[in-house]
Amino acid sequence: MRIAIVGAGPTGLFTSIALARRGHDVTVVDRDPGPRPDGTWERAGVMQFHHPHAFRLQVVEALTAEMPEVLDTLVAVGAERVILPEPPHIALGLRCRRLTFEWVLRAAAEAEPGVVMLRGHADDVLAERGRAVGLRVDGQRLDADLVLDASGRAGRLGRGLRAPVDSRDCGLAYVSRQYRLRPGADFGPMSMPIAGVAFYPGYGVIAFPHDDGVFSALILRPGTDRSFAGLREVAVFEAAAAAVPLLATWTDPERAVPITGVLPGGRLYNSYCGQLDENGVVPLPGLVFVGDAVCTTNPSAGRGVTTSLLQVRALLALLEQDAADPESSTRAFDAWCTGNIRPWFEDHVVCDDGLAARWAGADVDLDRPLPSDLIGAAAEVDPSLMRVVGPYQAMQTLPGTLAEVEPRAHAIYAGGWRPPVPAGPTRDELAELVARHASASVG
């Protein structure tokens, strides 16, 4: 088949290589010019590109299954496989900048026989006799037997065709900065194998180790609270990082030097948009949406590339079974996503609503089932919960499996226990520090 893919992000690139290796002729269309010869890459239009990314085990598994040499190259250029330090030493994921991940994946796609990378803007999906027959790219026709829309969370192509997107504000925003370790220095303390995390009522911080001695320091702030807007200034970010113990240790000038400015992030959404229109009909057989164009979730849980590549793997299997009937394979893919991807969207909506309420001062709501993050936290009191919580946290089981241990977690909270708050400034103290340093840097 001739397959046109819109979007050369992780979804489009991975899909293009996998499809070419199945004998298809693939053209990937993206407006982005790619990395510059000096290795820098702005990636306008993908606002998260330089923000911290953690890559879960499912991403490693997808690469291993479809393109193991890409994983080898990532490791060769400094990405690090994360393995549980204690027996049974299970693999957990990959430490890597998004820049490095995408740069290696893009180079592999460019070198793949059967993949053509076309720079341009996909203006429209072309339809004839009620089915997709290609794209209009910068006014030129590109014929295809199948069109995949991997245009990401900001993509607009063909959006009016589907039922309206179900979208909820995550209630938080990113402010991050990348640092490089000084020679001989190690990453700072990590409360989880993949990151150092400290959450306070009203904000949170995460330190993400990446490849080649680079790490990101992230401050998660309430999305609509203007008190933290000053964090985008270097002096203010540095003062805030120095005041929060976890980030103070990681960003200590003796340990590391900043290699980027402060990167502010836009509003974040949990969103889900299936393949069908409002009447439950495949709107344009031969056009399939995949990756962030289907689902986005609160990025601080690091699920986006995983949910994207899980979708691709399901789609590849369906296309192998039933490529001749685009309507039935699209319908089957939609059903698979409803069962396996939408639950992550729904889980995040509940967790984020609960977190926003608690960040605004509310106590744990014991009048309704606990959100997954609170069930997970309760394992600190009763480690036996990990039998169910662990596979959920690793995304090996769906959020619904937590129902089995919810009553036990509920009882723990009803007994008065609350997740401990680490040492560090309160939300009001941090907001006051931001205001003080912001006005100092203006004055």
Ligand X SMILES: Cc1cc2nc3c(=O)[nH]c(=O)nc-3n(C[C@H](O)[C@H](O)[C@H](O)COP(=O)(O)OP(=O)(O)OC[C@H]3O[C@@H](n4cnc5c(N)ncnc54)[C@H](O)[C@@H]3O)c2cc1C
Query: What is the contact surface with ligand X in residues (CB under 6 A)?
Result: 6-12, 29-32, 45-46, 48, 51-54, 121-122, 150-153, 155, 157, 174, 265, 268, 291-292, 299, 302-306, 308
At closest approach, how far in Å is the CB of 154 from ligand X? 6
Q: Which of 223, 14, 193 is nearest to 95 (CA)?
A: 193
Residue 30 or 352: which CB sits closer to ligand X? Answer: 30
Q: How far is the CB of 436 from ligand X (least distance, A)?
A: 27
Nearer to ligand X, 196 or 304 (CB): 304
Q: What is the DSSP track for 70-134?
A: HHHHHHHTT-EEEE-SSTT--EEEEE--HHHHHHHHHHHHHHSTTEEEEES-EEEEEEETTEEEE
Between 314 and 385, name the residue whose CB sits nearer to ligand X. Answer: 314
Q: How far apart (Å, rounded) are the C-alpha atoms in residues 352 and 346?
A: 10
Q: Would you say 11 or 73 has its CB closer to ligand X?
A: 11
Q: Report d(CA 31, CA 43) in Å as an integer.
A: 10
Strand order in the sheet with 122-128: 122-128, 131-137, 140-143
Residue with smaller CB distance to ligand X, 12 or 223: 12
**CA 193 to CA 95: how far, in whole Å?**
10
Least distance (Å) between residue 157 CB and ligand X: 5
Q: How far is CA 207 from the centre of its chain?
A: 16
Q: How far is the CB of 28 from ligand X (least distance, A)?
A: 9
Least Å distance between CB 269 and ligand X? 9
Radius of gyration of the chain (CA): 22
Least distance in Å: CB of 195 to ligand X?
9
Of 48 and 227, which CB lies nearer to ligand X in the complex structure?
Answer: 48
Q: Min. distance of Cβ 175 from ligand X in angstroms?
A: 10
Backbone torsions φ then ψ of 389, nearest 5 degrees: -70, -40
Contact by Cβ (8 Å): 225, 427? no
Are the CB atoms for 101 and 214 separated by under 8 Å?
no
Other Cβ atoms within 10 Å of 325 Cβ, number: 12
Q: What is the DSSP letter of 363?
A: P
Question: What is the closest distance, in whole angstroms, from the C-beta atom of residue 94 to ligand X in the complex?
Answer: 10
CA dihedral 311, 330, 18, 90 (to 10 degrees): 20
Nearer to ligand X among residue 197 and residue 409 (C-beta): 197
Q: Which is nearer to ligand X, 6 or 239 (CB)?
A: 6
Instruction: Round to whole Å and give the CA distance between 187 and 173.
Output: 24
- Separation of alpha carbons 20 and 23, rounded Å: 5
Q: Whose Cβ is closer to ligand X: residue 8's or residue 318's?
A: 8
Q: How far is the CB of 215 from ligand X (least distance, A)?
A: 13
